Every structure is written in C-alpha cells, then in structure tokens.
Structure 1
C-alpha cells in the first residue's frame, strides 16, 4: 500500500539509506581534508551496516567478523583519499543495482534506481574530476554538488513507501553486482582513456564511453538469445551460472534410484535423508513426518525449518544461510516432498486395492455360503416330508456338500487367491444346481458336445 505518511516512512528502511546518503553528501561538500569529513564518513559506514543486504539483521556476528569489519573501516578512514571514495561509491552503486532485480513492486524499483542515479552522479561529477585533477571542472562540479545532488536526495525522500517482502529484504544478485561494478569501472577508465588518447573534454569522453558500452551491451544482448539457428551464449553460460553443482546432480540421481527401489514411504524417506545429509554445506538434518522422524549429523550454529505438506525438515549449517543457499534448500525440500508424497499415494492405492480384494472375496464367500444353506434347506425339507426318499439323496449330495465346504475353507485360508477361477467337475456342478432348485417345478436337461446329462 502506497503512502507518504512520515511514521511509515520512518519505520521502513528508507530513512537509513536516506540519512546514509545525506552524510556522504555533507562529507563530500566539506571535502576529505576537512576535520569533520572522517567522523561523518564513520557515521555513514555505521548506517551502511544497518542498511546492508549482505547479512541478516537478526544474526549475531562472530567476534572475528566484527573485528574484521572494524579493522577495514578504520583502515579506510585512516588512508582516506579519492581512490578509496571512488571504490566505495562504485561498490554502493553495484550493491543497490543488485537489489533492483530482486524487487518487483514498482515504487521500490524506482527508489533504488533513483539512488543509483544519485551515486552515479556523485561518482562522475565530483569524485572522478577530483581523482584525476581535471582542470577547469572545479566550478561546474561545485555547482552541481551544491544544487543538483541535494535535489536528488530531496526527491528520494518523497518517493512513496511500499512494504518490503520478507524474502526480498536481504536479496542481492551477486552476478549483477559484479557486472555493474565492472561496467562503472569501465566507464570511468574508458573516459580517462578517451581524454588521454583523443584529447577531448571530460563530458565528451564520458559520452563516448557510454556510447561504446551501449553498443557492446546491445551486441551482447543479440548474441545472448538464440535466433536464426544460433544457440546463443546463454546456453553455454548457463552451464556454469545456473548449475548449482555436482552434489545436487548426484543427489537427484540417488533419490530417483531410491524412489525406484523403495515402495514404502518410511524407508524411502530415511534413505533420502541419508543422501541429503551428504551435501557439503549441511552439518545436520532433522525431519518429522507422519511416517516417522529422525536426525542425522550434528546441530550447527545456523538452522532453517522448511515444510512441505506434512513433511517438516530442519537443516543445520555451520555458516550463515544466504538467500541463494535458502533458495537451494527450498528446491531440495520441494523435490524430496514430491517424491515422498508420491510414495504415500502409492501406499494408499495399494491399501485400497487390498481392501477391495478382501471385500470382493468376502462377497463371493457370502454368496457361496448362501448357496450351501439353500442346498441344506432343500435336503432337510425332503428329509422331513419323505424320509425314505431322502436317504439316497443324502448319500449323493453329502459328498458334493463336503467338497464345496472344502473349497470354501480354502478360500477363507487364502482370501487373496479368491479371485482365481475354481475348477469343479461338471457332473458335480450339475447335480448341485438341480438339488438347489429341486423344490421348483423345473425340467432339467443339458445338451452339449458329449452325452446329455439328464436327471
């Protein structure tokens, strides 16, 4: 939601970058030889540590990292010169540019692009002329510094504020950072080369350098994308930039092989975790799922918890988890969760098939029991009404009933084989059918390839 409310602006990270640039502006206005320049730049560095996108703000730095940062800052301030400022402003320009590609909301992009414009103006209009002692440029640079550059900062303060996404607050594309730093270095050195070799003024040299860089980027953009049968530079470059490394490729092969070998979710999950724990940047791993839980390795200083449906993974590392590594982790967990959920669905399908087989076998057994009871009912009816006639019928039918009971018991012992076809003699089946329906007024006769079966 866009707003110019001062409270929301103060609570956002915009004020840190604004004050940081304001202190840099005042230090440049006073000059590096002024006694207030170094304290202002020291405060500028402190605000940079609050704004910086390299470390998570909630992570506590180790004493080695803290001492290293303090030593670098003090060294830069003690040997402060225009080369140090040029390197520092170029690095800030590259860092801000690296964040531009991580933000999708429009006003956040505009804000970072405006900061890049200010830093580029400071570098080209003030630091570079002082760095190379350009003659006749001091007056123009002073006017632009005193009037034009503060106007850029004032406009930055009034750009609407948007809430930053939690995943993009610490997002930096280091490839773009390196490319932008190299481009700004080429722009400055190219301008110096044109001034020295072509004997032209500074502004004309800058325009020539920009023109040459624009042509080079245009040609690179044309060669980058595939067209007219040319595969493009992107295909070859992606092998080195987009590939996360051999351990990932090997893990994908192992998890695919494990998915083919293991049919149950629990053994598959345990073997997959064993393969995942062998990643070089992982110190340990813990997982919790409906099919079980476990731990491998050791609990590192840093941890991240990732979920995929009912699967919860906690990954431990010895180093701070950067955004790139976090994206890598999410990819691995997503792939693992996909295979795990597929195994669970396979298990549920097998269980449903087993239950269906049991129900079908039970239905057939129930039907056979019903037929046997009907046959026994017919025999008992005959025995009650005509005992003399029932004696030979019982002698003929009892063996048939015994055989049918044996078949029924065989089904009960092996219900999984109930779906198989059971072979019985034709005369046995014919007699059982006649006895089952003998109370009905039906004339029975069978005509087939052999001798007719008559009662």
Structure 2
C-alpha cells in the first residue's frame, strides 16, 4: 500500500487537480492521431506535457517517487518523454489503463471522496469504450455512423467532459491521513476487469455481428455471472463466509501462526456450535 504526501499542493484542491487531469486526457484522446500536420503534432505534445504536469501535482504516489533524488527525477522524465516523443494511441490507451488502476486502487473513507473516485472510474471506463476502442479497432457500425453523420459522434464526447468539469467545483478538507492510499491489488483488478470487458466485447462484436452497446452488456453480464458463481462456489466448498475476506486478506497477511489462528477465529462457522467452555479451551 502506497502513501501520498505532497507538501506543495493543498489537499483542498485534490479533486480540482483530478478534474484537470481527466480533462487534458480527454483532449488527448479526442485528438486525430491520423493527421500528419506539424502544428497538430506540436499541440498534441504540448497538451501531453500539460497533462503529465498536472498529473504530477495530483498523483497519489508522491512518496513512492521521491522527487528530491536525481535518479527518480530522471526515471520519471524518461517515462514522460516517451509519451511526448511517441504520442501513439496505443501508448495513450496504456496510460488510461494505468489511471484506471490508480483510481480503482485508492482506499478512501469519506463519502464525497468515494463518489468523486467512482465518477472518475466511470469517466475513464467510458473513455475506453467510447473513444479508445473505435480508434484502435475497426468497428463497422461506428464507421457507418461516422460516415453518415460525423457530428453525432461529438455529442458523447461533449457529454463526457461534464464529469471532470464538475470536479472543478468540488473542494475537500485539508486532512491527508485517510485519502491518499493506493492498493496495488485492487487497482490491478479494476484495470484488468476493464481490459477484459473491452477485449471480450470486441470478440462478441466480431464473431456475433452484435451491436456495440449489446456486446458491452453481454460481456458485463458474463463477468457478473462469473464473479457470482465463483463467490457461491467459494462459500460452498471452501467454507468461507464470502469472498470479502479473500479480497482484503492480502492487506494484512503476514503468514504467521497467530494470524492463522485469528483468521480461523473470525469464521463463525468454526465455533458457532461450541459451548463457552469448549471455545475457551
């Protein structure tokens, strides 16, 4: 679990910085990567530089990247330079998945922070499905729709901007203790689920000649059924009370005998038929 500590930026503006990160990302994804005009490529690199600059001010991994050391500065500069020098749509999509992982791995406590975080995950997911996939892969219905009515594709992109724009008007308190934690396992899970949904939807579209919204719905339904089935099997055969202990166990797992005894004790099915005297033995 990683902890954020940014002494330069007040936590009060954390959601506003996040809104700017998402707005600049949307502008980048909105860009026509097929054009070869020099001024267009120059402006794209400028927006990328602004995006990563705002991201550095917002990011929840500040203590992970100790920017007072030259090695970390060089490493971070190389990563940013790769995106700026080679602004390819595949790299931008990879970066979007990384942002999905960061947002999905945040361990938040306050309801307002959770609501903003969920809205950001929704925004990034819609960006992946609505903006990225048609740019990366040929989807026949999207191509036909764009051919007959090019302007109709602009409306979803304008509507998507409304989500991060609302973040600009949301302020938070100045407490940092319970807001800037990122769990790698949770973030990786969220990112992988979105990637599986995107790739699975493409397979359904190509094999079944299904329209894109229906393919997304079918893939989402399939994932839900799979997760519920695994949860049911885990409860029946593994004797657990649900998948929630499995989901959070890695946060506290140190593997010693005392922890295993506590874990055994935390399962009501292990002692619900015992008498008080038997329980204390």
TM-score higher than 0.5 here?
yes
Q: Is the 8 A contact 2:15 2:172 kept in 1?
A: no
Q: 2:224 aligns with which of 202, 210, 214?
A: 214
- 1:63–1:218 distance in 2 versus 1, CA, 3 Å: same
Structure 2 alignment gaps of length 5 or more? 1-9, 260-281
Query: Does structure 1 residue 110 correspond to structure 2 residue 115?
Result: yes
Partner of 1:437: none
- 1:108–1:61 distance in 2 versus 1, CA, 3 Å: same
| Distance in 1 separating the partners of 2:185 and 2:90 | 24
Partner of 1:71: 78
Partner of 1:157: 168
Partner of 2:154: 142
Q: Secondary structure at the match of 2:140?
A: coil
Q: Secondary structure at the match of 1:13?
A: helix
Structure 1 alignment gaps of length 5 or more? 1-8, 254-455
Q: 1:51 aligns with which of 52, 58, 66?
A: 58
1:335-376 alpha-carbon deviations (Å, 9 max, x no partner): xxxxxxxxxxxxxxxxxxxxxxxxxxxxxxxxxxxxxxxxxx
Partner of 1:230: 239
Aligned residue-pair number: 237
What TM-score, normalized to structure 1? Answer: 0.47
**Cα deviation, residue 136, structure 1:** 4.0
Q: 2:184 aligns with which of 164, 174, 177?
A: 174
Partner of 1:125: 130
- 1:239–1:108 distance in 2 versus 1, CA, 3 Å: closer
| Distance in 2 separating the partners of 1:88 and 1:70 | 15
| Distance in 2 separating the partners of 1:240 and 1:156 | 33
- 1:216–1:235 distance in 2 versus 1, CA, 3 Å: closer
| Distance in 2 separating the partners of 1:21 and 1:79 | 20
Q: Secondary structure at the match of 2:139?
A: coil
Partner of 1:18: 19
| Distance in 2 separating the partners of 1:177 and 1:61 | 26
Aligned-residue RMSD, C-alpha: 3.1
Q: Is the 8 A contact 1:13 1:51 kept in 2?
A: yes
Q: Is the 8 A contact 1:30 1:37 kept in 2?
A: yes
Partner of 2:267: none
- Correspondences of 1:25-424 after superposition (within 5 Å): 25-32=26-33, 33=35, 34-35=40-41, 36-56=43-63, 59-99=66-106, 102-137=107-142, 138=146, 139=150, 140-145=152-157, 147-159=158-170, 161-163=171-173, 165-224=175-234, 226=235, 230-231=239-240, 237=246, 241-242=250-251, 244-245=253-254, 249=256
| Distance in 1 separating the partners of 2:102 and 2:247 | 23
- 1:77–1:59 distance in 2 versus 1, CA, 3 Å: closer
What TM-score, normalized to structure 2? Answer: 0.73
* Bigger relative contact order, structure 1 or 2 (CA pairs below 8 A, ≥6 apart): 2
Higher helix residue share: 2
Q: Secondary structure at the match of 1:167?
A: coil
